[in-house]
Structure 1
């Protein structure tokens, strides 16, 4: 019993000391694999997505499944920011389209111009392993949109992002099951049945939010 009480006391002292540290702007680990949920205020869209993230090469692969207007859909895209290209991939049918990606890469983490909202414990600090210490920041993006970012105090792992746009209202992204590293490095390269980088893109240029807007077109 004394050992348990000592452990709880030490946890409380450690957590209190951690919360006295002033949070700092940070970048998330450059290689991440995980999943996230995404929902929009105005579009009534929700989806769950697996992802692989490479900040060094500015590449993201997103595997989406979700519901729009009570209809399920799947969506698989590879975003190559340095090349300015998005591939929409159907591995089952072995088809692939290439479109221009017209948006700057934004690394996960806390933007330099963000201001601290506060430091919080997600869950509870009453016992070991029952809480997660996080920092929440807010700011204005270059396009004038408001945002709020929450990351872990230790490691700067993404927890959630809120982003306000005129088109969608509040967009909410919640990250789950994050691990450091890339489980399948080949997934961040276009499959062999995709057009090569020298091939001419088709369709209209896209950005992240236009990709989301297209989800209703893929619902089946």
Structure 2
């Protein structure tokens, strides 16, 4: 498993490090993330998730623990964008809900129109073995969603570090990424479990899922 810290070996390439950063996208990756939604209003949500996504195949898997108003819930979502379906899986109950997936696939990436704010080292390279990582910060806006964002990605590998997204009438969503893995560890990650074989297509009633998908994927 190639962890994020392995990117530090590239930092000795001074000539490469001085090149101008450019927007990028990672085709396949997985790892963990933590989100705090609603810093600017009282109804905040804390989300911890594990995710995998595959850009060429347009599919993603998200397992999330959501804490909201001192209530905890667990979500396991399989999102197959090319097929236009999503699965909400519950292993304890051996149930599976199948629903139409109408939103387009959006890879975790730096948008082409994002503006570079600057580059810096996460940690330090002042001494051998410190393992600092070169990162770039970007900013931009999505007018259709009335949202502004600030993203931080690694210079080498194009891996996400953090994101700050402010959405009008919603608030601020902060996300940190960790334990990232390049590639897909489990080839069965995007195969629905047997409990989904006979699931009938229906509309999901859980608005929490819609919020989660909108701001994470």
TM tier, smaller: 0.7 to 0.9
Q: What per-residue deviation string (whole Å, max 9, x for no partner) do you get for residues 4-61 of structure 1?
A: xxxxxxx9x9475454221111112x12121100111233111211111111111111
Taking the TM superposition and a 5 Å limit, the aligned residue runs for 1:39-188 are 39-41=36-38, 42=41, 43-128=43-128, 129-141=130-142, 143=144, 144-188=146-190
Distance in 2 (CA, whole Å) between partners of 1:167 and 1:32 is 32
Provide closer, same or farther for how the CA distance between residues 201 and 136 of structure 1 changes in structure 2, counting only shifts above 3 A.
Answer: same
**TM-score (norm. length: structure 1):** 0.80
CA separation in 2, counterparts of 1:111 and 1:208? 24
Residues 139-161 of structure 1, C-alpha deviation per residue, up to 9 Å, x if partnerless?
11252411111110001011112
Provide, for residues 62-111 of structure 1, a one-character-per-residue CA deviation record: whole Å limited to 9, x for no partner.
11124222233211111122222221100121101112223221112211
CA contact (8 A) 1:19 1:119 kept: no
Q: Structure 1 residues 159 and 205 mapped into 2: Cα distance closer, same or farther (>3 Å)?
A: same
Report SS of the residue matched to 1:156.
Answer: coil
Give 4+ residue runs of structure 1 displaced > 3 Å after superposition: 13-19, 203-209
Partner of 2:29: 32
Structure 1's 203 and 177: CA in aligned 2 closer, same or farther, altered over 3 A? Answer: closer
Structure 1: runs of 5 or more not aligned: 1-10, 214-220
How big is each residue's C-alpha offset from its partner over 1:135-183, in whole Å with a ceiling of 9 and x where there is no partner? 1111112524111111100010111122221243111121100011212
Provide the residue aligned with 1:210 in structure 2.
211
For the Cα contact (< 8 Å) 2:97–2:201, is it kept in 1? no
Mapped contact 2:100–2:201 kept (Cα < 8 A):
no
Report the Cα distance in structure 2 between the residues aligned to 1:17 and 1:142, rounded to whole angstroms: 37
CA contact (8 A) 1:101 1:205 kept: no
- Using the TM superposition, give the Cα deviation of residue 122 of structure 1 relative to its aligned residue in structure 2, in angstroms: 1.1
Deviations 1:99-137 (A, max 9, x none): 222322111221111110110111122123331100111
Unpaired segments ≥5 residues, structure 2:
1-8
- Which structure has the larger Rg? 1
